[in-house]
């Protein structure tokens, strides 16, 4: 039987850094994609230069198609593919280079979703304030939400049926298998990587990043974080509240957690 890291690597199309000094886990919209163009260009250049020292993971609500579009759109600023991707709010894990799903991570979630999808769709059919997003994921349902028309009692019904629900940025509503979220999937990934948790820093800006911050891993809440996420800060002792937005906030947080040497 392969050790966890070797098994994970065997399912990837590109090698991982052998001994990374930092595992950097970043949300995309508003976080890695946030801030002024020059700040982003500088941070992306640093990431490219430190590719063997920094294992970079996207952790996003976007599906793989939308992640591919981001990489293409932001190529002029120097954004490179990460080593690994957690997409669909935790329902997908993929190789960053190829964006091919990793069976080790995806197959168990897929099996659970097959049992849940039909009854959840029935509960959600015709519900006011919800518009299905054009996502390609097979392991969640993603909606745009109008909170003035949305029925909050629906969440209890969905959870009773075996789902987990995430409202974020006052406009997104995700329905996932219970127990699946950015934080739970990240912890599983770190176990397969055999990563020292002291080397991990997460970064995010909306409520779907809360599960990452609740893991107890070091985290950076960037300066432009939504107020609903900031309200949780008092109970998140391992999370640093950056003053700067987006990429500059990530860099500020990394320095706070003692990773200054990676800028040498």
Q: Which of 52-66, 76-90, 135-149, 249-263 has the lowest mean pLDDT?
A: 135-149
In this prediction, residues 192-199 reach a mean pLDDT of 96
Q: Read off the pLDDT of residues 100-138 as tens digits, 9 standing for 90 and up.
A: 999 999 999 999 999 999 999 999 999 999 999 987 677
Tell the residue number behind the tokens 């127990």, with chain if given: 179
Q: What per-residue confidence (pLDDT) applies to 263?
A: 79
Answer CATH for 4-104+180-263 from 3.30.390.30, 3.40.50.1000, 3.40.50.10710, 1.10.3720.10: 3.40.50.1000
> How many angstroms separate the CA atoms of 86 and 10, rounded?
18
Q: What per-residue confidence (pLDDT) applies to 2?
A: 64
Q: What percentage of the chain carries pLDDT values higher than 70?
A: 98
Of 215, 242, 243, nearest to 25 by C-alpha is 215
Token duo for residue 88: 């669909």
Q: How is 197-210 classified by DSSP, letter by letter?
A: GGGEEEEE-SGGGH
> How many angstroms separate the CA atoms of 201 and 264, rounded?
19
3-class DSSP assignment, residue 190: helix
Of 185, 210, 212, nearest to 200 by C-alpha is 212
Q: What per-residue confidence (pLDDT) applies to 264?
A: 67
Output the CA–CA distances (angstroms, integers) from residue 89 to 217, 220, 228, in the order listed. Answer: 18, 18, 18
Write down the mean pLDDT value for the chain: 94
Whether 14 has a pLDDT exceeding 50, the answer reads: yes
75 pLDDT band, cuts 50/70/90, is: confident
Q: Which residues pair with 22 in a beta bridge?
A: 54
Q: Read off the pLDDT of residues 169-179 as tens digits, 9 standing for 90 and up.
A: 889 999 999 99
154 pLDDT band, cuts 50/70/90, is: very high
Would the CATH topology of 4-104+180-263 be identical to that of 105-177? no
pTM value is 0.95
Whether 1 has a pLDDT exceeding 50, the answer reads: no
Query: Where do the structural domains in the chain lie, given as residue ranges?
Result: 4-104+180-263, 105-177
Q: What is the CATH number of domain 105-177?
A: 3.90.1070.10
């Amino acid at each position: 039987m392969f050790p966890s890291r070797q098994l994970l690597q065997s399912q990837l199309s590109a090698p991982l850094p052998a001994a990374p000094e930092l595992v950097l886990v970043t949300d995309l919209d508003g976080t890695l994609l946030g801030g002024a163009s020059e700040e982003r260009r500088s941070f992306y250049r640093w990431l490219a230069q430190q590719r063997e020292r920094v294992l970079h993971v996207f952790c996003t609500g976007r599906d793989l198609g939308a992640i591919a579009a981001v990489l293409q759109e932001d190529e002029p600023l120097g954004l490179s593919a990460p080593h690994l991707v957690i997409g669909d709010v935790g329902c997908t894990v993929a190789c960053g280079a190829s964006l091919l799903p990793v069976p080790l991570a995806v197959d168990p979630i897929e099996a659970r979703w097959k049992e849940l999808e039909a009854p959840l769709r029935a509960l959600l059919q015709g519900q006011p304030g919800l518009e299905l997003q054009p996502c390609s994921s097979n392991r969640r349902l993603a909606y745009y939400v109008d909170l003035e028309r949305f029925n909050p009692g629906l969440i209890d019904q969905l959870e009773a049926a075996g789902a987990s629900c995430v409202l974020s940025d006052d406009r997104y509503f995700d329905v996932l298998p219970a127990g699946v979220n950015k934080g739970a999937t990240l912890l599983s990934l770190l176990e397969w990587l055999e990563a020292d948790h002291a080397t991990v820093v997460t970064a995010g800006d909306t409520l779907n990043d809360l599960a990452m911050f609740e893991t107890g891993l070091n985290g950076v809440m960037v300066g432009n974080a939504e107020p609903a996420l900031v309200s949780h800060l008092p109970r998140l002792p391992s999370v640093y509240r950056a003053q700067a937005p987006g990429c500059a906030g990530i860099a500020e947080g990394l320095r706070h957690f003692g990773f200054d040497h990676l800028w040498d």
